[in-house]
C-alpha cells in the first residue's frame, strides 16, 4: 500500500463557495458562513458583507478603490503591464492559456492594480490584489506593481497602502515569482527609511509568499473579519506535524490576540480608520 494512503486526515473541512445554477447565478447567493440565501444586489450595496452575520465576501478590486478613495481621485498606473510565460509552463493547461482565461474572466491584465488616490484629501499610493485572477497569485507583473507602489510613495513623500488577498507566489513563474518577495521588501524598506508610513490591509486569504513578505511588514497591520492569514494553510500544517491546531488558528481574531496584527476592521470602518491614521501621522510629522 502506498504511504500516501496511510496518512490520516486532519479532519478539517474547508468552506467552499456555493454552487449556483445558471438561472440563479446573477440574482442569489448563499453565505458560506451562516447559510443564508441572499439577494446579490443587496450584498453589493452592503459592500459585499452578509446582511445576516457580517461575513465578508471577496470584494472586487475596483470596488475597493471606491471604498477607500475619495470619488474621482484614483489614478491608475501601469494598467498595460501583462504577464509573459518565460518558462513555457504547462500542467493541466498551459500558463499562457490560464492567463488569457483569467483576463477574460476578470477584465484585468493581472492580479493587482495600483495607482494614486486620496482619502479625505490626503494623497496616498494604493495597490490592491485581484483575487479572482489566478487566486491573486504574485508573479513578475504583480511584484513589479507592488514595488512601484512603494517607489512612487517614496518619490512623492506620501503614505502607501496595500490590500492583500492572495494564495502566494505564482508557481507557473518559478523562481521569478519568488524573487518578487525580495524585490518588494527592498522597495518597502527604502520607503520606510524616508519615514513614510505603510498600512497593510489583509483580506481573506493572505497566504504564501505575500504573507511572508510585505503583507506582514506594515507599520500598521489590519485585517478584515474572518480573514485567513499565514504562510502555509492549516490543513497543510496539521498534515505535516500530525497535531491538532488551536481553534481559530491563523484567523484574524487569533492573530490579533497574539499580537500579529493591530486591528480587525469591518469594511464600513476602513476608510474612516485610514483617514484617522493619516491625520495622526500628519500631526506627528508637523510637530517634528
Domain 58-287 -> CATH class: alpha beta
Average pLDDT over residues 108-121: 97
pLDDT at 11 > cutoff 90? no
Q: What is the dihedral of CA 236, 242, 246, 251, to 10 degrees?
A: 0
> Given this model, what pLDDT does residue 17 score?
44
Q: What's the pLDDT score for residue 16? A: 38
**Which of 132-141, 153-162, 192-201, 233-242 has the lowest average pLDDT?**
233-242
pLDDT of residue 284: 61
Q: What is the mean pLDDT of residues 246-254?
A: 93
Whether the pLDDT of residue 70 is over 50: the answer is yes
Q: What is the mean pLDDT of residues 4-20?
A: 41
The residue ranges of every structural domain in the chain are 10-57, 58-287
Is the preceding omega at residue 74 within 30 degrees of 0, hence cis? no
pLDDT tens, residue by residue, 42-60: 999 999 999 999 999 999 9
At residue 279, the pLDDT reads: 84
Determine the pLDDT at residue 9. Answer: 40
Selected residue with higher pLDDT from 217 and 25: 217
State pTM to two decimals. 0.88
Residue 288 is predicted with a pLDDT of: 57
Q: pLDDT category, 285, cuts 50, 70, 90?
A: low
Grid cell 495622526 — which residue? 280
* Low-confidence winner among 11-15, 42-46, 94-98, 247-251 (lowest mean pLDDT): 11-15
For residue 283, the model assigns a pLDDT of: 63
pLDDT digits 0-9 by tens, 169-211: 999 999 999 999 999 999 999 999 999 999 999 999 999 999 9
Mean pLDDT, residues 78-95 taken together: 95
Q: Which residues contact 249 (CB under 8 A, 6 or more apart)?
A: 234
Annotate the chain with three-state secondary structure.
CCHHHHCCCCCCCCCCCCCCCCCCCCCEEECCCCCCEEEHHHHHHCCCECCCCCCECCCCHHHHHHHHCCCCCCEEECCCCCCCCCCCCECCCEHHHHHHHHHHHHCCCCCEEEEEEEECCEEEEEEEECCCCHHHCECHHHHHHHHHHHHHHHHHCCCEEEEEEECCECHHHCHHHHHHHHHHHHHHHHHHHCCCCEEEEEEEEEEHHHHCCHHHCCCEEEECCCCEEECCCHHHHHHHHCCCCCCCCCEHHHHHHCCCCCEECCHHHHHHHHHHHHHHHHHHHHHC
pLDDT at 5 over 60: no
Of residues 137, 149, 162, 163, the one with CA closest to residue 83? 137
Average pLDDT value for the chain: 90
Question: Across-strand partners of 112?
Answer: 129
Nearest of 138, 169, 124 to residue 275 by alpha carbon: 124
High-pLDDT (> 90) share of the chain, % = 83
Candidates 115, 128, 146, 134; CA nearest to 202 is 128
What's the rounded Cα separation, in Å, for the pair 217 and 161?
A: 11
Amino acid at each position: 500500500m502506498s504511504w500516501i494512503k496511510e496518512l490520516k486526515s486532519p479532519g478539517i473541512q474547508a468552506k467552499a463557495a456555493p454552487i449556483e445554477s445558471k438561472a440563479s447565478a446573477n440574482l442569489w447567493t448563499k453565505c458560506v458562513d451562516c447559510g443564508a440565501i441572499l439577494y446579490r444586489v443587496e450584498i453589493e450595496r452592503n459592500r459585499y458583507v452578509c446582511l445576516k452575520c457580517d461575513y465578508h465576501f471577496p470584494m472586487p478590486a475596483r470596488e475597493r478603490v471606491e471604498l477607500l478613495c475619495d470619488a474621482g481621485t484614483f489614478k491608475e498606473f501601469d494598467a498595460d503591464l501583462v504577464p509573459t510565460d518565460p518558462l513555457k509552463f504547462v500542467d493541466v493547461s498551459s500558463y499562457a492559456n490560464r492567463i488569457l482565461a483569467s483576463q477574460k474572466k476578470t477584465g484585468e491584465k493581472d492580479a493587482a492594480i495600483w495607482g494614486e488616490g486620496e482619502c479625505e484629501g490626503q494623497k496616498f499610493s494604493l495597490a490592491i490584489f485581484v483575487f479572482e485572477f489566478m487566486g491573486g497569485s504574485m508573479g513578475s507583473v504583480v511584484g513589479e506593481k507592488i514595488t512601484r507602489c512603494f517607489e512612487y510613495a517614496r518619490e512623492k513623500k506620501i503614505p502607501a497602502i496595500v490590500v492583500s488577498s492572495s494564495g502566494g507566489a505564482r508557481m507557473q513563474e518559478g523562481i521569478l515569482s519568488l524573487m518578487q518577495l525580495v524585490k518588494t521588501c527592498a522597495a518597502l524598506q527604502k520607503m520606510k527609511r524616508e519615514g513614510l508610513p505603510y498600512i497593510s490591509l489583509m483580506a481573506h486569504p493572505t497566504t504564501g509568499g505575500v504573507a511572508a513578505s510585505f503583507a506582514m511588514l506594515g507599520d500598521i497591520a489590519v485585517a478584515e473579519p474572518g480573514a485567513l492569514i499565514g504562510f502555509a494553510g492549516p490543513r497543510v500544517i496539521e498534515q505535516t506535524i500530525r497535531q491538532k491546531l488551536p481553534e481559530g488558528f491563523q484567523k484574524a481574531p487569533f492573530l490579533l490576540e497574539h499580537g500579529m496584527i493591530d486591528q480587525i476592521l469591518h469594511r464600513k470602518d476602513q476608510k474612516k480608520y485610514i483617514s484617522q491614521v493619516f491625520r495622526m501621522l500628519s500631526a506627528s510629522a508637523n510637530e517634528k
